[in-house]
Structure 1
Amino acid sequence: MRSICLVALIGLPGAGKSSLCTWLLGQQTALRVRHIVHLCYDDFLDATPSADLAYKEQRGRIFKVIEKLISAIQEDTDWPPQVRRISSSGECNSERHLILCDDNFYYRSMRHTLHQLCRDSGCVFGQIYMARSLDSCLQANSARSNATRVPVDVVRQMNERLEAPDTSEAWERNSLTLHDLDTTGSALLAFISTLLDLPTKKATTDLPTAAAKSLRQDQSLVHCLDLLLRTRIGALLQELPQNEDKRLAGQILNNRRKEILIKFRTEGGGKQRDGDGEDDALEYYVNLLN
């Protein structure tokens, strides 16, 4: 069965989202995917006063393109002609597809719409938050051409309104925050690999609201812990001295990760730890790596 992972890129103009997507387009072999699709919203949006369509209506059209793309992948039909930034691997046997939605997504509601689409269509949803400082983003934005440069006051306004991912929300747990791209490549690939490994689920919209929410929360706990463990492993490997064998250390930490996941499941998802909430329980198991 074809599996689809959709990742929303969050961050200010100049944060490096498009550069990250361009880099990821070259990682199809490392990620073992058949296709990586980069949907850059700037390719579709016209924010000028003379635009034929209102901004909200333009975003609605992009959403329709994403819907059609997901359907085309799942049904093995022709892709929408608007989809142009694609990289394909020679692994024709791979059924895994990665869609990168490259936009600011500074309002949580913008991302939640994508999450709902993924939930209803059986796709995996994740988020990458590019948490660069406002000054860094303004500097990068100022180096752009006149056609792509965003007005300074608009960038500052986005910065004030930006709602960072809240991992206490079940639907935002599959999130990764990046501060420095130069030192987080391995952690980033580990994060996306984990998302791609997650099992696709059937739509739960036919369940009662409370039951559907409970089911999604229960299913996401183990996956959330796995994401946190892999992210911690990436950070620990980055901290190793140059003379340390990172490959050996990675194998040891990965084996430890598997042991911790077994322990987590055996102990009922950490729910038996008296006085601990879900976040505290997850943190306890992540700290077992140290």
Structure 2
Amino acid sequence: MIPANVFRYQDDSSQWKEARRGIVSYVKNLVSYLKGLEQQNTVNSFEISVREELLKITQSEKRRRVYVILDDNMYYRSMRYEYYQLAKLYNLSFCQLFVHCSVSDALNYNLSRDPGMTVPGEIITRMAKRLEPPDRQNNPWETYSLTVPSETWTVTKIKEIVHFLNYVSEHPVVLPLDDFEVRQESKLICSTNVIHQVDVMLRKIIGDRMRGGKTSLQQVELQAQSKVLADKRRHILEGIRTGRILVPEDICEAVELGQSNTGQSLRDFLSSLLTIS
């Protein structure tokens, strides 16, 4: 879906993020089409050809159940959450298959790829550090998640996956009936601007703490503190993106309105989260 020669390894670039958003839009159009709903105008020739082929299959084989499989690393939880929201919008089922693979195995698999298709080893190592596996305990929307090994699957394992998919298909995501619940849930996910300001403030707080630690900590201790703070920063950002961590509504509103007193209140809130035990 995303040309490797154009976007390969540029996971932080605006082009890469725009391309990922395009796939979300494509899946939404496909689901709308399959459900017989009104179509958007932003449909290209590729989407049309896929839709026509899919329609032929579903009609010829009289299939009433269609699985849309998104094969992607999706190492950030926020990448997957977009599709959960889509499932909720259309009252569809949603699940995750997490293929667990050690870094050493991934590096070995990578070496067996055809020339020109291998990935730089540091990319695999970096992605492993960023990977956020499904967390059913803290994120109810990830309840239907199954972890499977990366090794060759046995017949028993394949049957387990099929059973899991069939079970999930009978339990679609349900929209809250109460408008108040819908509004409350929409507040869980902050706007892009708020998340950006949170990230900027977290970096400032961490920078101040690291500078302050230079007078009282040894180099090894500073390095350890830097790693802990960086991990906590990523955890806080992801928590805010997914709604696990709620930024007070007054702070969100102040950030959106660009109020001058926002900085200190946001700093105080984030400082309380950025603690080292």
User: TM-score with structure 1 length normalisation?
Assistant: 0.51
In 1: Cα distance, 2:5 partner to 2:170 partner:
32
Does structure 1 conserve the Cα–Cα contact (< 8 Å) formed by 2:87 and 2:173? no
Match of residue 61, structure 1, among 16, 22, 28: 22
Change (3 A) 1:48 1:166: closer
Match of residue 7, structure 2, among 47, 51, 55: 47
In 1: Cα distance, 2:180 partner to 2:167 partner:
29
Q: How does 1:219-258 map to 2 (within 5 A)?
A: none
Q: Does 1:170 align with 2:130?
A: no
1:47 partner letter: F
Aligned to 1:182: 153
Change (3 A) 1:91 1:176: farther
Higher helix proportion: 2
Change (3 A) 1:146 1:171: same
Q: Does 1:149 align with 2:121?
A: no
Identity %: 25
Q: Which has the higher contact order (CA 8 A, sep 6+)?
A: 1
Identify the range of structure 1 (133-142 vs 192-201) with the bigger mean alpha-carbon deviation.
192-201
Does structure 1 conserve the Cα–Cα contact (< 8 Å) formed by 2:88 and 2:173? no
Offset at 1:81? Answer: 3.2
Question: What SS does structure 2 have at the residue aligned with 1:101?
Answer: coil
Say which one has the larger Rg: 2
Change (3 A) 1:57 1:208: same
CA RMSD of aligned residues (A): 3.4
In 1: Cα distance, 2:66 partner to 2:35 partner:
10
Q: How does 1:130-145 map to 2 (within 5 A)?
A: 130-145=99-114
Aligned to 1:191: 164
In 1: Cα distance, 2:3 partner to 2:57 partner:
20
1:178 partner letter: V
Offset at 1:120? Answer: 1.2
Q: How does 1:1-290 map to 2 (within 5 A)?
A: 41=1, 46-48=6-8, 54-75=15-36, 80-81=47-48, 83=50, 88=57, 92-168=61-137, 169-179=139-149, 180-183=151-154, 184-199=157-172, 201=174, 203-204=175-176, 207-209=179-181
1:173 partner letter: T
1:115 partner letter: Y
1:141-194 CA-to-partner distances (Å, cap 9, x unmatched) read 122123332211111100001001001121001000001442311111111111
1:212-271 CA-to-partner distances (Å, cap 9, x unmatched) read 86xxxxxxxxxxxxxxxxxxxxxxxxxxxxxxxxxxxxxxxxxxxxxxxxxxxxxxxxxx
Does structure 2 conserve the Cα–Cα contact (< 8 Å) formed by 1:204 and 1:212? no
In 1: Cα distance, 2:132 partner to 2:116 partner:
27
Higher strand proportion: 1
Change (3 A) 1:49 1:98: closer
Query: How many residue pairs align between the two structures?
Result: 171
**Ranges in structure 1 where 5+ consecutive residues have no aligned partner:** 1-40, 214-290
In 2: Cα distance, 1:196 partner to 1:44 partner:
32
User: TM-score with structure 2 length normalisation?
Assistant: 0.53
